[in-house]
Amino acid sequence: MYYFTHNNTTIDNTTVYSEISSEFDSVSSRYPVQFTEYYSGLIKKPHDGIWKQCMPDSRELEDTAQRPDPLDESLLSPVPGLIHRYPDRVVLLVSNCCPVYCRFCMRKRLVGSGVSPMGRDDLRTALDYISSHPSIHDVILSGGDPLMLDDASLSHILSGLRAIPHVAVIRIGTRIPVTLPARITADLCSMLGAFHPLYINTHFNHPDEITPESATACAMLADAGIPLGNQTVLLKGVNDSVETMRRLLTGLLKIRVKPYYLHQMDLVQGTAHFRTSVRTGLEIMRGLRGHISGLAVPHYVIDLPGGKGKVALLPDDVEIQGTTLHIRTYTGETVTYHDVTTPQE
Ligand SMILES: *Cc1c(COP(=O)(O)O)cnc(C)c1O
Ligand code: SF4
């Protein structure tokens, strides 16, 4: 079995269990706790970057200041399981479970809860909605983790989407290459390869998640012709230093994964102990740009409350005075640049 749940605790690492047993009961009754043998096996010592991402912490229950759904995803849902915020793309929540319940999850209100996953009727309604909105060109399968579905169910959803002519791009957001890499099988890859252009965004947060197993999972997906991106969440005590972030991002390039987004933590209830300041995020971005391969540098985005959308933030490196720009370089030097354009006739 892959899963280690509260009621089926067979964690062989007894120090892990004795450390968390008191927190298990109180936290898991509110927010489900689950991890895989593979993922918990990456823990090197208590409270390291892997531990913090998967082990319950009583501070989850103390954070009551924020709302469970600050992005108002439920208000932007015209039919069950579909979020339509931008004109040309939608998110389809096809699963509500994951192999590991990340303690910082932005959909903490939904994952692993009693909310039922998308059934056949909801799927039909969602596909009809997409069919009747020709402006939708990009469909993102999310959840929960879409790869928790079996191959046949996933193939059924993908076929339904490919039957809609205006859906150009399909994306899958999944953390399974990180938490349960054995799920990436040859059969899954050949099935997915039939639905191009199909993109996968995975979710690595820490360099210790880059292992021979996760590298193999990514290689199999890439070999199936699937471009791989990565979305990292900026997490206090996990990856909120330039050094850790550089190791993570450059490590991802080596396994053919292109860093896409670095997310400022959403203001989701139960996750406050992971939140860093935006200032910290901007300082980390300053430590990346110019210092490591440009290919490894993600966009640092903040998803604004109330469903206002994602905005990319950059360190403040330019001061504009008319056509004279004072620009700060990656080494900290200020260079004057004259913004000369050809006068129009
Ligand atoms: C993030 C997100 C998208 C995709 O945004 P991109 O910037 O295109 O990656 C689409 N819809 C919703 C609701 C989102 O949260
Ligand atoms: S894998 Fe993604 S959806 Fe699932 S718990 Fe982790 S962050 Fe949330």
∠ CA 196-199-203, nearest 5°, is 155
Q: Phi/psi zone of residue 68: left (φ > 0), alpha (ψ -120 to 50 degrees), beta?
A: alpha
Is the confidence at residue 114, as pLDDT, over 80? no
Is 38 noted as a catalytic residue in this protein? no
Distances (CA, A) of 259 to 130, 255, 299: 29, 11, 8
Look at residues 321, 249, 240 and name the one whose alpha carbon lies nearest to residue 279. Answer: 240
Residue from 2, 17, 86, 129 carrying the catalytic annotation: 86
Q: What is the pLDDT of residue 341?
A: 87
Q: What is the pLDDT of residue 345?
A: 61
Is 103 noted as a catalytic residue in this protein? no
Q: What is the pLDDT of residue 13?
A: 42
CA of 89 to the centre of ligand 1 (A): 7
Q: Give the separation between CA 213 and CA 193, rounded to whole angstroms.
A: 21
pLDDT-based confidence at residue 11 (cuts at 50, 70, 90):
very low
Nearest CA to ligand 1 atom 4: 89
Q: For residue 178, which ligand has an atom nearest its CA?
A: 2
Is the confidence at residue 316, as pLDDT, over 70? yes
Place of tokens 């191959």: 151
| Least confident residue range of 2-11, 98-107, 184-193, 330-339 | 2-11
Is 98 noted as a catalytic residue in this protein? yes
Pocket test for ligand 1, best of 69, 91, 260, 261 (most atoms within 8 A of CB): 91
**pLDDT tens column, 201-239:** 999 999 999 999 999 999 999 999 999 999 999 999 999
Say yes or no: domain 14-317 is CATH 3.20.20.70: yes
* Residue 184: strand, helix, or coil: coil
Contact 236, 275 (CB under 8 A): yes
Q: State the greatest distance between any 2 C-alpha atoms of the chain, in Å, as a whole number.
A: 78
**pLDDT tens column, 47-75:** 999 999 999 999 999 988 788 899 888 88
Q: Give the separation between CA 12 and CA 239, rounded to whole angstroms.
A: 27
Look at residues 78, 80, 112 and name the one whose alpha carbon lies nearest to residue 98. Answer: 112
CA of 52 to the centre of ligand 2 (A): 14
CA of 173 to the centre of ligand 2 (A): 10
Closest ligand 1 atom number to CA of residue 307:
13
**pLDDT tens column, 237-278:** 999 999 999 999 999 999 999 999 999 999 999 999 999 999
CA of 104 to the centre of ligand 2 (A): 8
| Least confident residue range of 3-12, 22-31, 86-95, 160-169 | 3-12
Q: Give the separation between CA 205 and CA 248, rounded to whole angstroms.
A: 7
Pocket test for ligand 2, best of 111, 178, 204 (most atoms within 8 A of CB): 111
Q: Give the separation between CA 84 and CA 304, rounded to whole angstroms.
A: 15
Residues contacting ligand 1 via CB (< 6 Å): 83, 85-86, 89, 91, 140, 310
How many Cα atoms occupy the beta-carbon half-sphere of 225 within 13 Å?
9
Q: What is the pLDDT of residue 147?
A: 97
**pLDDT tens column, 160-174:** 999 999 999 999 999
What's the mean per-residue pLDDT of the chain? Answer: 91
CA of 163 to the centre of ligand 1 (A): 22
